[in-house]
Structure 1
Amino acid sequence: MAPALRSRWTDSSALSLGILGVGNIGTVHLKSALAMDGVDVVAAADAVPENRRRAERAGVPRTYDEYGTLLEAEALDAAVVALPPFLHADAVEQAAAAGVDVFVEKPLARSTEEADRLLEAARAAGISVGVDHTLRYQPDVKGVKREYDEGRVGQVPYASMTRVNDFPFGRPPAETAPPSWAHDPDLAGGGSLVELGVHCFDVLEWLFGEVDVDGADVDRTLDSPVEDAATVLLRAPETATTISLHCGTYQWEDLPEVNTRLRLEGVTGTISNTDHLPGNFYASAATAALRNTASRLTLGDPDVFGPTFYLQAHYEALLAFCEAIREDETPPVDGADGRRALELAETAYDLAEASDDAIETPEVRP
């Protein structure tokens, strides 16, 4: 944070926050911020009128149809960048010009080159950059990390991770067309490797230290310009761990209760994220939702962790960012972490392309 900005913090002041983008994930961040003590959501921006109305109904005092206008008009301490990836760099650069710290939805950018550009703008302006890699904050993943760090299974020669989702399709039958940018590699930066893989790369290095990408394969099972499935083989030199990773986008009618699987095969036992889930996932979610409704009716504090632990993870990630910038500390998941995840994705793309090029088409003779 730039020295000129430090004087804004006092024990009694609230952090003034703006939300740039109030679509699906932007709404999650908005609701998280509204539930936080010491955070004042003063404005939101979105090009879609209904999204602006949603923010207004939630209690946001002012809305704008352009995030640049919001950044010029409002005296913010921080902003959440919940825009499509092709707008991240521009939004961060405009926030930097306004001296506003940023919490950026993943992926940080569409490429490491673009990430370098926005991080340089942030460095020059003295602003902090946090990245929403929420897997670190999911209770099940934190449980795996805790057991591993405690040495419960000793050295881990092999680990596996899977992450699947239905974005951008939605559960069939689809009621609305998916956002066009999600299927455009120039706008999204890629497919499943960027949408889902960056989360996994971040968690794997959080667990095992720096990892190397040894091989990769990407596939397009649908008629789409971006991959909807990717499998990556990694190696963690520091812990001598071999890791297999798969991420995919599937239009399932019934999604799994938890869309991430993480398993560590240790020399004295196994650690799995499934061991750290509620006994009955849906019953737990329903109970949290009922508590949340009751607390609103009685004017109590809402259960910001319900109805599912996904909301808990997003809440904790944004809260950790807000606490870090208030204390003039580096966010726990910062711009360098976001860039590193992109670097691993780009390496996987390069290896997958090289592997495809190496496969020779056999000559067919009559």
Structure 2
Amino acid sequence: MPPTRLLSRWTDSSALSVGVLGVGNIGLVHLKSARAMPGVDVVAAADAVPENRERAETEGVTRTYDDYATLLHSEDLDAAIVALPPFLHADAVEEAAAAGVDVFVEKPFARSTAEADQMLETAAAAGIHVSVDHTLRYQPDMVGVKEAYEDGSVGHVPYASITRLNDGPLGRPPIQNPPPSWPLDPDAAGGGSLLELGIHCFDVLEWLFGDLEVESAAMGETLDVPVEDAATVLMRAPETQTTITLHCGSYQWEQLPEVNTRLRLEGITGTISNQNHLRDNFYAGAAKSALENVASRVGGDRTVFGPTYYLQAHYKALEDFIDAIRNDETPPVDGEVGRRTLALAETAYELAEETDRGEVPPPEVTS
């Protein structure tokens, strides 16, 4: 472990110093979450876009940079939140490793398993911890499903399904501002809906059922965009002998606070659904929280928001990372978890491509 890390390691007598790399939509969520946590000091933020740096300053961050590498090597940080586009994740982790800074990386962890391996090797050599923002497992309804499944009330679960939909990078019409270019660039993003939405589903399914095996997949292009806007994957969980279907897409107009994820476990004695684990008066409560946050922003209130139903999952994921590095422990959702979800996605892409080329072998005939 580099000496700089030993000197900057968090102690009970000082706050943990955090830098935020990227202050777009999700970066702002992480920034606000970190500022809400006791014993955490968001000392700086970086973004190439001037308006985003102004957002950070409005939230009370005193030092901003137009370059994340400059921030990492100018500030004495304990941790950095990497909320940059996927094509910058590897470089940001390399720069953080050189500075001896633990990292919390937005999903997808990388654009490929090869890139993920490089990032993990760099982190291991520098002795830094790496965590990935897989938040679906932190949503209260998903926690409820896991608890109900583990109490055994529905017995063996032969089949499960998960669907996750939203309106994607194009947004819900009417479009007022053009979307950023990188989500529609397969080289920059690594893929489309499967990496943006399905990656969360892979994580929550492994969290429930253990290792997964991808058996077949199909990619869809409902919209005229360069990346897939729909994906359907058939899997099997060997440990629990569960067959699972996953569908994700960015073709459906999302109407908040509608829950855009459906998870069902079909057990021998009954069904477990995440819809049954939403809190009472969910829609009214979510809408009220969202309006309060909007009013706070419009009014220029610099106090940190109270996380809504969706945003509390990001808060809890970041909190787990913060708690782990305070204790110099491996975060519960570490880089290896992020790599496994990428491996599943890569297999799905490969199988879908084989199907499109007609390379699927014929079924074996037995007498």
Residue of structure 1 in register with 2:144 after alignment: 143
Structure 2 unaligned blocks of 5 or more: 361-367
Question: What residue is the counterpart of 2:214 in the other structure?
Answer: 213
Distance 1:357 1:290 in 2: 49
Q: Could you list the per-position Cα deviations for residues 270-309 of structure 1 after superposition, in whole angstroms to 9, with x for gaps in the alignment?
A: 1000011133333112444577799999x9x966333xx1
User: Which residue matches 1:200?
Assistant: 201
Q: Is the 8 A contact 2:17 2:40 kept in 1?
A: yes
Is this contact kept in 2: 1:170–1:251, CA < 8 A?
no
Q: Secondary structure at the match of 1:34?
A: helix
Question: How many Å separate the matches in 2 of 1:276 and 1:175?
Answer: 35
Please name the residue that 1:107 is paired with: 108
Give the AA of the match of 1:110: R
- Which residue in the other structure is 1:304 paired with? 306
Report percent identity of matched pairs. Answer: 72
Amino acid at match of 1:227: E
- How many residues were matched structurally? 356
Distance 1:90 1:359 in 2: 36
- Supply the distance in 1 between the matched residues of 2:257 and 2:353 (Cα, whole angstroms): 31
1:290–1:172 Cα change, 3 Å: closer
| Deviation digits for residues 196-225 of structure 1 (CA, Å, limit 9, x no counterpart) | 111000110000000100000001111111
State the alpha-carbon separation in 1 of the partners of residues 334 and 2 from structure 2: 16
For the 8 Å contact 2:160–2:245, the answer to whether it is kept is: yes
Instruction: Give the structure 1 partner of residue 70 of structure 2.
Output: 69
1:98 is the counterpart of 2:117: no
Structure 1 residue 52: deviation in Å? 0.1
SS class of match (1:264) = strand
What is the distance in 2 between the residues matched to 1:3 and 1:159?
48
SS in 2 for 1:186: helix
Judging changes above 3 Å, is the alpha-carbon distance between structure 1 residues 295 and 110 closer, same or farther for their aligned structure 2 residues?
Answer: closer
Change in Cα spacing, 1:238 to 1:253, as seen in structure 2 (3 Å) is: closer
TM superposition shift of 1:255: 5.6
Match of 1:280 in 2: 281
CA 1:55–1:238: 2 relative to 1, 3 Å: same
Runs of 4+ more than 3 Å apart: 1-4, 253-256, 286-297
Counterpart of 1:270 in structure 2 is: 271
Q: Which amino acid aligns with 1:356?
A: D
Match of 1:5 in 2: 5
| Most deviating of 283-292 and 192-201 | 283-292
One-letter amino acid of the counterpart of residue 322, structure 1:
I
Task: Tell me if the contact between 2:293 and 2:305 (Cα under 8 Å) persists in the aligned partners.
Answer: yes
TM-score (structure 1 length as normaliser): 0.92
CA distance in 2, matches of 1:190, 1:256: 26
Cα distance change, pair 272–291 in 1 and its aligned pair in 2 (3 A): same
Partner of 1:126: 127
CA contact (8 A) 1:233 1:243 kept: yes
In the alignment, is the contact (CA less than 8 A) between 1:172 and 1:251 conserved in 2?
A: no
Select between 248-257 and 32-41 the one with higher mean Cα deviation.
248-257
Tell me the distance in 2 between the aligned counterparts of 1:165 and 1:293: 21
Aligned to 1:334: 334
Change (3 A) 1:79 1:135: same
- CA distance in 1: counterparts of 2:359 and 2:296, whole angstroms: 60
Q: Distance in 2 between matches of 1:78 and 1:159?
A: 37
Aligned residue in 2 for 1:34:
35
**C-alpha deviation, 1:2, in angstroms:** 5.9
CA distance in 2 between counterparts of 1:336 and 1:281 reads 34
CA drift of 1:4 comes to: 6.2
Question: Does structure 1 retain, via aligned residues, the 8 Å contact 2:257–2:283?
Answer: no
Instruction: Show structure 1 runs of 5+ residues with no match.
Output: 361-366
Q: By how many angstroms is 1:72 displaced?
A: 1.1
Amino acid corresponding to residue 337 of structure 2 in structure 1: D
Distance 2:238 2:253 in 1: 36
Residue 186 in 1 paired to residue 187 in 2? yes
Amino acid at match of 1:27: L
Distance 1:230 1:286 in 2: 30
Aligned residue identity for 2:98: A
Measure, in 2, the Cα distance between the counterparts of 1:126 and 1:280: 46
Letter in 2 for 1:208: F
- The residue that corresponds to 2:357 in the other structure is 357
Alpha carbons 1:292, 1:302 under 8 Å: kept: no
SS of 2:310's partner is: helix
Q: TM-score, normalised by structure 2?
A: 0.92
88-97 vs 2-11, which deviates more?
2-11
Structure 1's 79 and 193: CA in aligned 2 closer, same or farther, altered over 3 A? same
Question: Would the aligned equivalents of 1:192 and 1:249 in 2 still touch at CA under 8 Å?
Answer: yes
SS in 2 for 1:358: coil
In the alignment, what sits opposite 1:166? Answer: 167
Instruction: Return the alpha-carbon distance in structure 2 between the equivalents of residues 324 and 213 of structure 1.
Output: 31
Instruction: Supply the RMSD in Å over aligned alpha carbons.
Output: 2.2
Letter in 2 for 1:242: T
Query: CA 1:77–1:302 in 2, change beyond 3 Å: closer, same or farther?
Result: closer
Does the 8 Å CA contact 2:223/2:251 hold for their aligned counterparts? no
Q: Distance in 2 between matches of 1:157 and 1:6?
A: 49
